[in-house]
Every structure is written in C-alpha cells, then in structure tokens.
C-alpha cells in the first residue's frame, strides 16, 4: 500500500536512490534528464559528478523560470514528443509535475524512457488524477485558476499551466503503464504538497472528498515513485 509521507521524505528518497545508483556505477558520472524542469527543486548531490539536461514545453511562464536554473548544463524547450535527446544516453530521468499538464502523456513518457540506459531510474512526481485535488483542478475553469493562482501558490512558481490529467496520471494508470513495459516500481508513496496545504486548498479538497463519498480522497494530492528500467537484455525493449 502507498505510504503518506511528508515533503521532506520525498526529497530524501530521491537523493538516496540517486546515490545508490552512482555507487553501483563505481562513481562514474551520472547523466540526468530533468523533464518538467520549471517545476522542481534541483537535486542536491554533493560530491557526485552529474551532467544535467532539462526538457520542458516552450511556454513563456516556463522559459522565464528555466533561464534562472544554474544547475542545468543545457535546456531544451519545445515539443516533448520529438525532443532531440539520444536514446540510452542518461542514467536518471526526473519527471516533475509534467505528465498531468500535457497531452499525449503516455507517448512522452515512452520517449523519456527511450533516453534511459538499462538499469536506469525514473524519479516521478505528479499530481494524482484520482485525488480530490486532481478533481478540483480539472473542474476549475481556467479563468478562475488564474484568479486564484497567486493566492494559493508560492511566489515564483510558473503558472497556472494547463490541467489535462490524462488517465496515465493516476496511481492505477502508472502501475498499468509500468506493468505493460516491464518496469519495476521500487518506491511508491503519496504525499500532500503545493496548494492543497493552504487553508483554502484544504477546504476545497475536503469538500470534494465528502461530495464524492471518498471516491476522490483528500488524504494526498501528489504521487512520488522511483521506477527502474530493467537490465535484462531479453526484457521488452523500451
């Protein structure tokens, strides 16, 4: 069963898994692809040699934030279905609040997996379509989201960005995707973060939980997973 953890545990989990990956590669430099690079804090990887590349959609709100990230060696903005990243070229793919705001999410995730070397990791963070927060965001008109954004979200975060929430962007959706592609989910957690932490956000998600009789729970809004691509050469090629 998924665990409910604090935001601090989320960051510790990613750092721990990346350090394990680096140790398993005998200290070789790690190539990291950050997908959704406008929406996540950089990984703090002291004494680990990394080369980080960012990819995201080319939107004005995203471009202004990405330009300020000093940890990225380069950043590619554009159509994520055709991003120019060579296959099997990175050790870690960090997917941060990206899948729930784009169309063709399954196709994009497949393309991100193509860039991953055998045995590599996917560090996934996304809002859960099946949560009360996900329901509220999907049903809120875009004009109202723009009006409320600055009151609910910390200053400096780009948005509001589209709220698409395709079926992939749920706990069941990701599990089915990984099963169909032979991927191993090594860590699976749920947490509460972002706008759902403020008073207005808590009120809205609790009301949605009550009105749907728990079908869309208010216990969390974010899914945090670590997914491993298999080493086995006879596994399905992705």
Q: Which residues pair with 90 in a beta bridge?
A: 116
* pLDDT grade for 3, boundaries at 50, 70 and 90: very low
- pLDDT tens, residue by residue, 105-140: 999 999 999 999 999 999 999 999 999 999 999 998
Residue 73's pLDDT is what? Answer: 86
The rounded mean pLDDT for the chain is 85
For the chain, percent of residues with pLDDT exceeding 70: 87
pTM summary value = 0.88
Q: Residue 209 — φ and ψ, nearest 5°?
A: -60, -45
Residue 41's pLDDT is what? Answer: 65
Mean pLDDT, range 189-197, rounded to an integer: 80
What class has domain 3-128+167-194+220-228? alpha beta
In the chain, what are the domain boundaries? 3-128+167-194+220-228
Distance, C-alpha 75 to centroid of its chain: 17
């Amino acid at each position: 069963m998924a665990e409910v953890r604090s935001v601090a545990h989320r960051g510790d989990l990613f750092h721990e898994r990346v350090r394990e990956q680096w140790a398993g590669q005998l200290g070789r430099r790690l190539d990291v692809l950050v997908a959704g690079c406008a929406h996540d804090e950089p990984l703090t990887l002291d004494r680990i040699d990394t080369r980080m590349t960012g990819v995201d959609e080319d939107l004005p709100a995203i471009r202004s934030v990405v330009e300020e990230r000093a940890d990225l060696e380069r950043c590619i903005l554009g159509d994520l279905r055709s991003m120019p990243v060579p296959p099997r070229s990175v050790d870690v793919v960090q997917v941060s609040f990206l899948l729930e705001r784009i169309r063709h999410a399954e196709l994009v995730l497949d393309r991100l997996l193509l860039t991953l070397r055998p045995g590599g990791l996917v560090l996934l963070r996304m809002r859960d379509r099946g949560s009360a927060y996900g329901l509220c965001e999907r049903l809120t008109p875009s004009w109202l989201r723009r009006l409320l954004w600055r009151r609910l979200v910390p200053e400096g975060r780009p948005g509001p960005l589209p709220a698409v929430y395709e079926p992939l962007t749920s706990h069941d959706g990701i599990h089915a995707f990984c099963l169909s592609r032979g991927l191993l989910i090594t860590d699976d957690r749920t947490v509460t973060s972002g706008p759902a932490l403020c008073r207005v956000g808590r009120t809205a998600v609790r009301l949605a939980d009550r009105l749907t009789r728990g079908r869309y729970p208010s216990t969390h809004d974010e899914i945090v997973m670590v997914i491993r691509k298999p080493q086995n050469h006879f596994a399905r090629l992705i």
